[in-house]
Structure 1
Amino acid sequence: MKLTPSTLSLALLAALAAPAAHAEIAIDVIGNSEVSFEGLVQADFYSFDTDLNDYGADTAGSDVDGDDYLNELRRAELVLKGKGPGNIEWVLGYDAKDDKFLDANVKYKFGNNANHFIQVGQFKQPGATMEELSSTKNNDFISKASITNSLGTPRRLGVQYNFGDANWAITASYFGRELTRNREHGSGYSVRGYWAPINEAGSIFHLGASYTDKDTDADFIRLRARPMADMVSLRYVDTGSSGLRASDRNSVIGAEALWVTGPFKMQAEYMTTDVKRYGNFDDFSGDGFYVSGLWNITGETWGYKGGTPVTNLPEEPGVGLWQLGLRYDAFDLNDGNVIPPTTPGGSPTVDGILGGKMDSWTVGVNWYWRSNFKFMLNYVTVNQEKYNNASGFRRVVEDNPNIIEARAQFYW
């Protein structure tokens, strides 16, 4: 769905005029299950100061040097949730914008302990990043980190067992394909463990680690990253449409840390991926990380649930919760070398895969207004570089766009 600037403006005015609502809508008790309805609608706007490539959807091309923009509905999530009967909980979610199922599962809590349960259906895998496992409506920045979008395994059909307490847990899952047809495939397993030795109001310290191993299914995997703008289709940093053929299995190791003190939060995550290949092809390795800091200017702090930070509601709804954030993100898909030509005038050759590198800085301001509205403004500077086929692998070619990003969000 494409939104014109005037349509987006009208939608924002209508949202501002709407009365505040509760966080969810209670529907009824059906079959001893308390059923509620939740939703999340996001509209994004990007303005690009482009460099080598044109990242706008309307004028796809290359070798441009100017401005471009993109605005569109980002998410339209509709979710039914149920509590009961007994210790059973269930959820059925669908994203009408992306035309795909979200969480669709049944959970049984042992002894009514929220941190000791078994879950069957589609859910976020424990090998996803801490950022991915956190609630989407509370993202610190408009674009998630490059490792979250590129290396983590998100929702899949499977079974999961979680054992722990409020301060720690160990989670293990076995998964298959994604529920929506023609989406992600490849069976595998994932584990995550975390520990918060400090977990009290206004003071949290968390450490965690994860491991995922999965079949590449069609003996092929493609790793790539958007330039910190989620709706952009072009990825400059990319292992290529045929670069990682003859791939057998893909494993990812992750490490995470979180520190909260009063109105300040810092978190960091690192992931390294390894692709096992057969025949005469060498294995491939890539990695990435991010470090971010957030300051609640209005003084609120964060909660903690399931090994992830929880953003609290504004203490003064009329004023809202104001946040100022900064993030550094780095991603590396180079695992090879350029071999100089052996004869005069010859062409270099590549030993391995040179998918490129990317690093970026994001500065952001967030405003949570009352219980249902959120507005975000980000400025992103991106630096990308890779050996380009067009140059015959003779030199590194850079593409360094700057992006202004805005988001309006309504949730209940």
Structure 2
Amino acid sequence: MKLTPSTLSLALLAALAAPAAHAEIAIDVIGNSEVSFEGLVQADFYSFDTDLNDYGADSAPPCSTSTDCDGKDYLQELRRAELVLKGKGPGNIEWVLGYDAKDDKFLDANIKYKFGNNANHFIQVGQYKQPGATMEELSSTKNNDFVSKSSITNSLGTARRLGVQYNYGDVNWGLTASYFGRELTRNREHGSGYGLRGYWAPVNDAGSIFHIGASYTSKDTDADGIRLRARPMADMVSLRYIDTGSSLTSANSLNNRTDRVSLFGAEALWVTGPFKLQAEYMNIDVDRYGNLKNFSGDGYYVSGLWNITGETWGYKSGTPVTNLPEEPGIGLWQLGLRYDTIDLNDGNIAPPLTPTGAPIVNGVLGGKMDSWTLGVNWYWRSNFKFMLNYVAVKQEKYNNAVGFRRDVHDDPNIIEARAQFYW
């Protein structure tokens, strides 16, 4: 769904007319439920120092002879336009209905019942973020530390699905179990399964947090196939050089069909005053039919943030919470650095059977990507955020078209910027 400039302008004007506060906008009390409205609008800009591939290319008509109609080495587009209704009550019931008008999909759409006054003890039915997602994904999108989420979050984790979830815990720990099916939006992710997550914060004081956690997900593959791929740390790019392609789908061969996927995740968080160190690891195992070797891939990231203006972080439901600026006029300034890696190689190359034949690939060689991201964030007042990132990406993938045992490298550098308004 494409938003016209006039539609977006009206939406922004309506939001700007609301009181300038970080909290949601109260609407009314309907059926003993306190209804409120939230929103998030993000606009991104990427500039590419292209290496092998043209990541600024587009394929929109009327250009029919080239994939790069505009010839530009940059992309600019609305990234998100999220509109969310929330309700509290009657009693211990809470509900949410969210929709992303940019991506034309439902977000959280569920109803929750809390047991007593414990916000960490509840049962939830509908669409929600799965416990098998990363801690980064479970955190609020508006407070992401970098323009692009990590490669394991975007490529391996299981995000929103329809299901039922039970959570039991307290302010310092929690255990979550979820059974899920397809995504609510038509023609999106499918494959039923279950997810588990547990976390513990033995240190949870103002300005001092230490958290560890782990998750496990097991799910069916969609139509007996799965395709794993990773963008070069730029969310709006359509080309993904790191890609298992048809190697794990029946499109390549019925013998390549996949049965089930299991994912294991580990997470850690440390906060001391204005500094935050965060790391996550994820491994994926794909069970395949027949005698073919199962596939295994993994990835991780390590990031550090410094709140230059001195603010610290909060902690809620096993995730960090970014606080409001202590001086709204100056805002909250952050400096961040992240190392990220993903490896979708699980195989080897054998010599060709004949002198003129092609090398033989045993297993799956989807490629490997490493990246460094340096970022500056500015939270201004209660509703605005501006981000600027420099990303250095190194990718390598085997290509049998260029000879035996040769990896082809593609190493773009990217400048990324984001303007964000939320209420």
TM class by shorter chain equals: over 0.9
Match of 2:328 among 307, 314, 317: 317
1:52 partnered with 2:45: no
CA–CA distance in structure 2, aligned partners of residues 389 and 375 of structure 1: 43
Residue number in structure 2 paired with 1:326: 337
Q: Equivalent residue of 1:53, what SS?
A: coil
Q: CA deviation at 1:347?
A: 1.9
Assess, with a 3 A threshold, how the Cα gap between structure 1 residues 148 and 112 changes in structure 2: closer, same or farther: same
Q: CA deviation at 1:316?
A: 0.3
Q: CA deviation at 1:388?
A: 1.4
Assess, with a 3 A threshold, how the Cα gap between structure 1 residues 399 and 16 changes in structure 2: closer, same or farther: farther
Q: Equivalent residue of 1:294, what SS?
A: strand
Q: CA deviation at 1:24?
A: 1.1
Residue number in structure 2 paired with 1:380: 391
Q: CA deviation at 1:206?
A: 0.1
1:168 partnered with 2:179: no
Residue number in structure 2 paired with 1:226: 231
Counterpart contact for 1:53–1:62, Cα < 8 Å: no
1:396 partnered with 2:407: yes
Q: CA deviation at 1:19?
A: 7.3
CA–CA distance in structure 1, aligned partners of residues 351 and 159 of structure 2: 40
Matched residue type, 1:335:
D
Matched residue type, 2:259:
D
Q: CA deviation at 1:212?
A: 0.1
1:349 partnered with 2:354: no
1:132 partnered with 2:137: yes
Q: CA deviation at 1:392?
A: 4.9
Q: CA deviation at 1:178?
A: 0.2
TM-score, normalised by the number of residues in structure 1: 0.94
1:179 partnered with 2:190: no
Cα RMSD (Å): 2.5
CA–CA distance in structure 2, aligned partners of residues 322 and 394 of structure 1: 47
Count residues with an aligned counterpart: 408
Matched residue type, 1:258:
L
* 1:317-344: CA deviation from partner (whole Å, max 9, x where unpaired): 0000000000000000000001012433
Counterpart contact for 1:354–1:387, Cα < 8 Å: yes
CA–CA distance in structure 1, aligned partners of residues 17 and 49 of structure 2: 33
CA–CA distance in structure 1, aligned partners of residues 3 and 115 of structure 2: 46
TM-score, normalised by the number of residues in structure 2: 0.92
- Once the two structures are superposed, the pairs formed by residues 23-102 of structure 1 within 5 Å of their partners are 23-58=23-58, 68-102=73-107
Q: Equivalent residue of 1:279, what SS?
A: coil
- Structure 1: 5+ residue stretches without partners: none
Residue number in structure 2 paired with 1:300: 311
* 1:140-166: CA deviation from partner (whole Å, max 9, x where unpaired): 000000000011000000000000000
Q: CA deviation at 1:256?
A: 0.1
Residue number in structure 2 paired with 1:256: 267
CA–CA distance in structure 2, aligned partners of residues 223 and 168 of structure 1: 32
Q: CA deviation at 1:346?
A: 2.8
Matched residue type, 2:310:
G
Q: Equivalent residue of 2:116, what SS?
A: helix
CA–CA distance in structure 1, aligned partners of residues 139 and 410 of structure 2: 31
CA–CA distance in structure 1, aligned partners of residues 17 and 121 of structure 2: 42
Matched residue type, 2:363:
G
Q: CA deviation at 1:395?
A: 1.0
Assess, with a 3 A threshold, how the Cα gap between structure 1 residues 400 and 323 changes in structure 2: closer, same or farther: same
CA–CA distance in structure 1, aligned partners of residues 13 and 178 of structure 2: 44
Q: CA deviation at 1:184?
A: 0.3
Identity of aligned residues (%): 86
Q: CA deviation at 1:130?
A: 0.1
Matched residue type, 2:167:
N
CA–CA distance in structure 1, aligned partners of residues 316 and 73 of structure 2: 40
Assess, with a 3 A threshold, how the Cα gap between structure 1 residues 22 and 307 changes in structure 2: closer, same or farther: closer
Q: CA deviation at 1:62?
A: 8.7
